[in-house]
Amino acid sequence: MEASLFLLFLLSFYSFIPNIISTTTNVITTNHNITDGETIVSSGGTFEMGFFSLSGSSNRYIGIWYKQILPMQTIVWVANREKPLTNTSSVVLKVTKRGILALLNDKNEMIWSTNTSRSVQNPVAVLLDSGNLVVKDANDDNTDKFLWQSFNFPTDTFLPNMKLGKNFQTGQDVYLSAWKNESDPTPGEISLHIDPTGYPETVVKRGTSVLGSSGPWNGLRWSGDRVPPPNQSSIYKIQYVFNEEEVSYSYYFIDSLMLPRLVLTSSGYVQGLMWVNQTKTWLYLSLPPNTCDTYSVCGAYGSCDIDHSPVCSCLEKFVAKYPQQWEKGDWSNGCARRKPFDCNKEHVFLKYSGIKLPDTKYSQYNTTMTLDNCRQVCSRNCSCTAYSSLDIRNGGRGCLFWFGELIDIKKISGGQDIYIRMASSELVSEAGSKRKTAKILAVSFSLLMAMVLLGLILLLYKCKKNKLKLKEEFELPLFQLSTITRATDNFSVNNKIGEGGFGPVYKGVLEEGQEVAVKRLSRTSKQGLDEFKNEVIYISKLQHRNLVRLLGCCIQGDEKMLIYEYMSNKSLDSYIFDQTKSKLLDWPKRFDIINGIARGLLYLHQDSRLRIIHRDLKASNILLDMEMNPKISDFGLARSVAGNEMGANTSHVVGTHGYMSPEYAVEGTFSVKSDVFSFGVLVLEIVSCKKNRSFFDQNQSLNLLGYAWKLYKEDRSLELIDEQLAGSCHISLVLRSIQVGLLCVQQCPEDRPDMSSVIMMLGNSHGSRLPEAKEPGFFPEREVLDADKSGSQNELTITSIYPRINLLRNESIASLLVMLSKITRKRKKGKRRRKAGREILVAQLAQASQMKASFFLLFQLTFYSSVHKISTTADIITTNHSVTNGETIVSSGRTFEMGFFSPSGYLKRYTGIW
């Protein structure tokens, strides 16, 4: 009897062995599945995979965690994060014969799968000791032939040997996505990407809004590193790749026993952690966040320095755009040049050192130029704002060019040099100026008294002559400054109706009761005296119902003003780009506006006394009168061409990005067809209520022109129409307008119709079929490369710059508009870098201290602390909003902050106020 019982016990024991084996294998095969309660373990015993639940939740997930870190599971990857399980009694994780790893319920319905398209003869799923779950052929370990791997679909954790970035050939984007909260792994709003737009940089986003940026890679590190990382080649290696095939960032440690990880939290904070086995705790390696880590906190040309108060200041030679707001701590509007530069006059590039390079979304690059070549190329293109060395290794090589305003600049130790375009007068040395002043005073004093009398006589004569000259030259009334001052109530803020690059616009009422708009040229205006005279001369000779009427001008001392008829409905952009006001424009009214603009352009190009090319046609330059009739305005950049000439060349490329034609923006060649291109952009904007320069199709990487053309080629143009037009539009007429718009924005100027043809096309709604539109001019990379091969002598053409990586070949240079992100400041600078306690072994402490100094500096994916928006904007803890480690609340006046902290030299955490 005892023998029988013993045999029965042995049989029972051995029948249990398969369950034990399932916890020691690292493979799932077509014959071996995983059910709830079973796991697989990587060959080295580092990682484990199976079913798990989070504290306080009954939901079950499939995930990967550290095997030996107990008792709390540290989850590094979740498979079914969007589809949690509530009942796993009959759920199984299996590998199908087609090579798909699938999570199936009791009805054999697929909850989650790898969804691979390829198949292999003997498929298996293997958990590697790196934490990577791979599906492959059992007999083939070639990583390039893996069917699927979890490292290509990370959740919130960045592990060693994982690559973040984008594959330009497949379009796959590998990025981190934070959990919704600590107890819910559902994807939240926060994500971390390597953004390849312009020149790659790492960004943390909340939805589509950028919260923090690392700056571009400079060959050694991300330029936003607060201090250069020390040489740690004996501890870790980093790899950054950027070529035509991919952009990626990865790291690994020489000592595989070290367990580092990078975690993107739900509050937008990126934590760097290292497991300390002796103390059984995670050592925090990330530097504390500060205000300067907030994206564009100081606005354009503003520099953030956390060691100064206030933290924001304008770059040298720049002044605050709005001093009163700046003094109140609102720095979002940034700064402007103290002396605006004129491309027709001498300019220089001023060197600024020790900074994190600006946001590179609107940049171009070249990998072979010298720094001197960079200066020459940038100086030939008026749109080029600044340049810097692309790779700082071995003395520097390559160029990085910026277009438009420079944002997201901060002062950091070990920062880089950047060269910003300035008026040449800014470089006059103060010491040299004093010496010259002394010499001039000595020489001129003897002549001064004699010249005073002569000067007074000449001044009286000149004043009288200038008045006569201005009257003859401008052929329109000259207003006295006192008249305009009274009309605008001394340029009262209450009468200010707009602001442009030239300066403010005021509403005024003349003594006889006539309402006028006064365009006042500011001293820092982008529009110089030549452009001012240009606008006066041209518009005074033009008379058309679709052109704004100039009533006169005022030139007195430093004041230069234009007096226009007042347009009560302001500009077109205030309607079509506003969700509320756009409802006031039904389709008949929009079509009338399109036709009115077309008639105004036809007059300029063909019917006026002068053949005028506007060069700056855009929505904000279309004014609307009381009856919503469109009137073209702002002729400061207009040029006339003689006789039968249709265009000209210039080295002074000015205009508005998003509306400039390709040949003008790249080669400096402008013609009536340049205006036609701008008109086409306007038509598409009016129909869609979307801005060309800020619209971006995430799925196809297209701007508005590319998106419209793609829909047109797929016979889906109706999808472009503003949904508010559904009840008022004539479908065939709208589709015809879209096609006319696409004909106007074609790549080659020769393919674009002239304005007389455009008016015929718009008016002949039941007539002949329109020609097929060709690809629009949204600046593919080949354009600039082709320009290089052509041997053009035009100085403006930049022949060696790579304007976009291939993935974004359709984003135009003309669309390089600076988009200023306004986000709330994050936590103030802390002093809470954690240090290991005395109980850590000396060798471990040495390694840990090295890691604290450089771990996050290496993969500036964290930018240490880049975004902490939610926790820093609230001063309240409620039943629905708690505070966890890494989050804080800040008092309404931003005086005090509360959260978790560790005193220097201790690992223990406390909650306190500082």
Residues with catalytic annotation? 616
**644, exposed or middle or buried, with CB in 10 Å at 0-12, 13-18, 19+?**
exposed
The token pair that represents 221 in the structure block: 């590190």
Closest by Cα among 258, 280, 82 to 187: 82
CA 256 and chain centroid, separation: 37
Distance CA 102, CA 118 (A): 15
Element (H, E) at 675: helix 672-688
Q: Give the number of other Cβ atoms within 10 Å of residue 16's Cβ.
A: 9
Alpha-carbon distance 350 to 340, whole Å?
14
* Cβ atoms of residues 577 and 689 within 8 Å: yes
Q: Is 55 exposed, middle or buried (0-12, 13-18, 19+ CB in 10 A)?
A: exposed
- Omega cis (within 30) before 185: no
**Calpha distance 729→237 (Å, rounded):** 60
Are 133 and 150 in contact by the 8 Å Cβ rule? The answer is yes
Q: Are 194 and 215 in contact (CB under 8 A)?
A: no
Residue 905's DSSP bridge partners are none
Note the Cα 649 to chain centre separation in Å: 31
Residue 442: other Cβ atoms inside 10 A: 9
> Cα-flanking dihedrals φ and ψ of residue 166, to 5°?
-135, 135
What CA–CA distance (Å, rounded) separates 484 from 490? 8
Q: Put residue 765 in one of left, alpha, beta given phi > 0 → left and psi -120 to 50 → alpha.
A: alpha
Alpha-carbon distance of 474 to 472, in angstroms, equals: 6
| β-strands 409-411, 302-304 pairing | parallel
**And the tokens for 166?**
């984008």
Whole-angstrom distance, CA of residue 451 vs CA of residue 459: 12
Give the integer Cα–Cα distance in Å for 679 and 686.
10
Q: In angstroms, what is the C-alpha Rg of the chain?
A: 33
Q: 828 to each of 401, 896, 914, how far by Cα in Å?
A: 32, 9, 10
Tokens of 44: 């080295």
Kind plus residue range of the DSSP H or E element containing 375? helix 371-379
Strands (E), 200-322: 201-206, 209-216, 236-242, 246-253, 260-264, 270-276, 281-284, 302-304, 312-314, 318-320
What are the residue ranges of helices labelled H in 766-898? 781-790, 842-858, 869-873
